[in-house]
Structure 1
Amino acid sequence: MPLNEFEFAQLQGLRKVSADPPLNSFHEKTQEVKSEAVSVTDLTDADANESDYAVSPTDSERSGAGLVKKEEPIIRTGEDVARHLVSIRDDGDSASTFRSWTLGTIFAGLGAALCQIYRFKPMPMHVSTVFLLLVIYTVGNAWAYVLPRRTWVAGTRLEFLSGLFHFINPGPFTMKEHVVATLVASTAASGSSAVMIFAVQRLFYDMRVDTMTAVLATFSTACFGFGIVGVLRPLIVYPSEMVYWKHLSTVTIFQALHFESSSNKNKLRLFWTAFTGMFAYEIIPAYIAPVLNGISVVCLASQRASKSTIDAITNIFGGASSNEGLGLLSMSFDWQYVGSDHMSLPLIQQANSWIGISICYVAVLAIYYSNAWNSRSFPMLSSSLFASNGSVYNQSAIFGAGQQLDTTALKEVGLPSLTGANVWSGFCMNLTIGALITHVILFWGGHARDSFRLARQKTQPDPHYQAMQRYPEVPWWWFASILILSFIAGLVVVVIGSTTLPWWAYIVSLLLGTFITPFSIILAARMGSGVFTSQLMKMVAGLINPGRPIANLYSSMWSHDVVIAAIHLASDLKIGQYLKVPPRVMFVAQIWGTVLGAFVNYFVMDSIVESRRKVLLSPTGTHVWSGQMPQILNSAAVSWSLAKDLYGVNSPYWIIPMGLLFGAIPTFIQWLVWKRWPKIGSVKVDSIMLPIIYMYSAALTHGVTSTIITGILVGITSQLWLRRHHPVWYRKYNYILGGALDGGAQTMIFVLSFAVFGASGVQHKFPHWPGNPARGNVDYCNGNGAFKRRH
Structure 2
Amino acid sequence: MEKLRSVISKDAALDTVESKRLDAGEYDAAVLSVVKSQEFDPVTSHLEKDILEDEYTAITVEDDSPYAEVRASVPSTDDFDLPQNTIRMWVIGMLLTMIGCGMNTLFSLHSPSFSITMYVTSILAWPLGRFWAWCVPNVSIFGMPLNPGPFNLKEHALISIMANVNFAGGTAYATDILLSQNKFYLQDYGWGFDILLILSTQCIGFGLAGITKKVLVESPSMIWPQNLVATTFLTNMHVNENHPANGWRISRLLFFLFVFIGSFVWYWFPGYLFQALSYFSWITWIAPKNVIVNQIFGAQTGLGLFPLTFDWMQVAGYIGSPLIPPAGTIGSILLSMVIIFWVVVPGLYYSNTWYAKYLPISSSGSFDRFQETYNVHKIIKPGTLTFDKKAYEAYSPLFLSTTFAISYGLSFASILATLVHTALFHGKDIIAQLQQREKRDVHNRLMARYKEVPEWWYAIVFVIFFAMAIATIEGWETEFPVWALVVALLIAIVFLLPVGVIFALTNMAVGLNVVTEFIIGYMLPGKGLAMMLFKTFGYITNSQAIYFVQDMKLGHYMKLAPRLLFTVQMSATIWGSIVQIAVLRWSYGAIENLCQPDQASHFTCPNGKVFFNASIIWGVIGPQRQFSSGQLYYGLLFFFLIGALLPVVNWLILKKWPNSPIRWLNWPVFFSGTGYIPPATPYNYGAYCMVGLIFGWWIKKKYFHWWVKYNYSLSAGLDIGLAWSSLIIFCCLSLTNTDAPVWWGNTVFADTVEGQNIAWIHTLLPGESFGPAKW
TM-score class normalised by the smaller sequence:
0.7 to 0.9
User: How far does residue 279 in structure 1 lie from its aligned partner after superposition?
Assistant: 1.4
Within-5 A mapping of 1:283-322: 283-303=268-288, 307=289, 309=290, 311-320=291-300
Q: For 1:59-105, what per-residue CA distance to the aligned partner results, in whole angstroms no more than 9, with x for missing partners?
A: 35959xxx999999976767314456421211121211111011111
CA contact (8 A) 2:13 2:34 kept: yes
* Inter-CA distance 86–650: structure 2 relative to 1 (3 Å threshold): same
Q: C-alpha distance in 2, partners of 1:6/1:527?
A: 27
Q: For 1:396-427, what per-residue CA distance to the aligned partner results, in whole angstroms no more than 9, with x for missing partners?
A: 23334342323343343343333333221111
Q: C-alpha distance in 2, partners of 1:533/1:390?
A: 30
Q: Does 1:349 align with 2:334?
A: no
Q: For 1:152-190, what per-residue CA distance to the aligned partner results, in whole angstroms no more than 9, with x for missing partners?
A: xxxxxxxxxx66897322221011111111111221112
Q: Does 1:391 align with 2:375?
A: no
Q: Does 1:79 align with 2:66?
A: yes
Structure 2 partner of 1:664: 644
* Inter-CA distance 121–341: structure 2 relative to 1 (3 Å threshold): farther
Q: For 1:24-63, what per-residue CA distance to the aligned partner results, in whole angstroms no more than 9, with x for missing partners?
A: xxxxxxxxxxxxxxx95xxxxxxxxxxxx7999x935959
Which ranges in structure 1 are unaligned for 5 or more consecutive residues?
18-38, 41-52, 151-161, 785-791
SS in structure 2 opposite 1:537? helix
CA contact (8 A) 2:224 2:507 kept: yes
Structure 1 partner of 2:25: 59
Q: C-alpha distance in 2, partners of 1:220/1:565?
A: 11
Alignment partner for residue 690 of structure 2, among 713, 716, 734? 713
Segment of structure 1 superposing worse, 512-521 or 388-397: 388-397
* Inter-CA distance 360–194: structure 2 relative to 1 (3 Å threshold): farther
Q: Does 1:537 align with 2:516?
A: yes
* Inter-CA distance 173–746: structure 2 relative to 1 (3 Å threshold): same
Q: C-alpha distance in 2, partners of 1:629/1:658?
A: 31
CA contact (8 A) 1:192 1:565 kept: no
CA contact (8 A) 1:225 1:562 kept: yes
Q: Does 1:201 align with 2:181?
A: yes
Structure 2 partner of 1:424: 406
Instruction: Say how many residue pairs are matched.
Output: 712
Q: For 1:225-271, what per-residue CA distance to the aligned partner results, in whole angstroms no more than 9, with x for missing partners?
A: 11111011011111111111022111122223222534598111111
User: How far does residue 110 in structure 1 lie from its aligned partner after superposition?
Assistant: 3.6
Structure 2 partner of 1:743: 720
Segment of structure 1 superposing worse, 89-98 or 255-264: 255-264
Structure 2 partner of 1:512: 491
Structure 1 partner of 2:734: 757
Structure 2 partner of 1:175: 153
Q: C-alpha distance in 1, partners of 2:654/2:634?
A: 32
Within-5 A mapping of 1:462-541: 462-497=441-476, 499-541=478-520
CA contact (8 A) 2:331 2:689 kept: no
Q: C-alpha distance in 1, partners of 2:604/2:625?
A: 33
User: How far does residue 335 in structure 1 lie from its aligned partner after superposition?
Assistant: 1.8
**Counterpart amino acid of 2:671?**
Y
Structure 1 partner of 2:76: 88
Q: C-alpha distance in 1, partners of 2:309/2:229?
A: 22
Q: C-alpha distance in 1, partners of 2:511/2:34?
A: 40
Structure 2 partner of 1:28: none
**Counterpart amino acid of 1:407?**
K
Q: C-alpha distance in 2, partners of 1:6/1:135?
A: 49
Q: For 1:739-785, what per-residue CA distance to the aligned partner results, in whole angstroms no more than 9, with x for missing partners?
A: 01111110121222222112xxx32112211222299359995699x
Alignment partner for residue 361 of structure 1, among 339, 342, 345? 342
Structure 2 partner of 1:700: 677
Q: C-alpha distance in 2, partners of 1:715/1:232?
A: 29
SS in structure 1 opposite 2:744? coil
User: How far does residue 126 in structure 1 lie from its aligned partner after superposition?
Assistant: 6.8
* Inter-CA distance 576–408: structure 2 relative to 1 (3 Å threshold): same
**Counterpart amino acid of 1:300?**
W
Structure 2 partner of 1:97: 86
Segment of structure 1 superposing worse, 696-705 or 585-594: 696-705
CA contact (8 A) 2:333 2:689 kept: no
**Counterpart amino acid of 1:662?**
I
* Inter-CA distance 71–197: structure 2 relative to 1 (3 Å threshold): closer
Q: C-alpha distance in 1, partners of 2:6/2:109?
A: 39
Q: For 1:457-484, what per-residue CA distance to the aligned partner results, in whole angstroms no more than 9, with x for missing partners?
A: xx75122122111111111111001101
Q: C-alpha distance in 2, partners of 1:506/1:431?
A: 24
CA-atom RMSD in angstroms: 3.7
* Inter-CA distance 493–294: structure 2 relative to 1 (3 Å threshold): same
Q: C-alpha distance in 1, partners of 2:15/2:670?
A: 40
SS in structure 2 opposite 1:344? coil
* Inter-CA distance 69–378: structure 2 relative to 1 (3 Å threshold): closer
**Counterpart amino acid of 2:540?**
D
* Inter-CA distance 454–73: structure 2 relative to 1 (3 Å threshold): closer
Q: For 1:192-244, what per-residue CA distance to the aligned partner results, in whole angstroms no more than 9, with x for missing partners?
A: 33323333335643445644433322322232211111011011111111111
Q: C-alpha distance in 1, partners of 2:467/2:347?
A: 48
Structure 2 partner of 1:772: 746
Q: C-alpha distance in 1, partners of 2:89/2:659?
A: 50
Q: C-alpha distance in 2, partners of 1:9/1:626?
A: 57
Structure 2 partner of 1:441: 423
* Inter-CA distance 349–73: structure 2 relative to 1 (3 Å threshold): closer
Segment of structure 1 superposing worse, 70-79 or 420-429: 70-79
Q: C-alpha distance in 2, partners of 1:670/1:130?
A: 38
Segment of structure 1 superposing worse, 440-449 or 279-288: 279-288
* Inter-CA distance 379–204: structure 2 relative to 1 (3 Å threshold): farther
**Counterpart amino acid of 2:680?**
G
Q: C-alpha distance in 2, partners of 1:129/1:687?
A: 31
Q: C-alpha distance in 2, partners of 1:398/1:485?
A: 39
* Inter-CA distance 327–625: structure 2 relative to 1 (3 Å threshold): farther
Alignment partner for residue 551 of structure 2, among 547, 568, 572? 572
Q: C-alpha distance in 1, partners of 2:106/2:341?
A: 28
User: How far does residue 315 in structure 1 lie from its aligned partner after superposition?
Assistant: 2.0
Which ranges in structure 2 are unaligned for 5 or more consecutive residues?
43-64, 244-248, 759-775
Q: C-alpha distance in 2, partners of 1:333/1:495?
A: 52
User: How far does residue 602 in structure 1 lie from its aligned partner after superposition?
Assistant: 4.5
Segment of structure 1 superposing worse, 208-217 or 120-129: 120-129
Segment of structure 1 superposing worse, 244-253 or 192-201: 192-201
Alignment partner for residue 233 of structure 2, among 241, 248, 253? 253
CA contact (8 A) 2:555 2:565 kept: yes
Structure 2 partner of 1:157: none
Segment of structure 1 superposing worse, 214-223 or 533-542: 214-223
CA contact (8 A) 2:109 2:595 kept: no
User: How far does residue 628 in structure 1 lie from its aligned partner after superposition?
Assistant: 6.7
Segment of structure 1 superposing worse, 259-268 or 166-175: 259-268
Alignment partner for residue 216 of structure 2, among 229, 236, 243? 236
* Inter-CA distance 61–766: structure 2 relative to 1 (3 Å threshold): closer
CA contact (8 A) 1:327 1:705 kept: yes
Q: C-alpha distance in 2, partners of 1:84/1:561?
A: 32
Q: C-alpha distance in 2, partners of 1:491/1:5?
A: 59
Structure 2 partner of 1:135: 124
TM-score by length of 2: 0.83
Q: C-alpha distance in 2, partners of 1:711/1:16?
A: 27
User: How far does residue 503 in structure 1 lie from its aligned partner after superposition?
Assistant: 2.1
Alignment partner for residue 404 of structure 1, among 383, 386, 390? 386
CA contact (8 A) 1:509 1:555 kept: yes
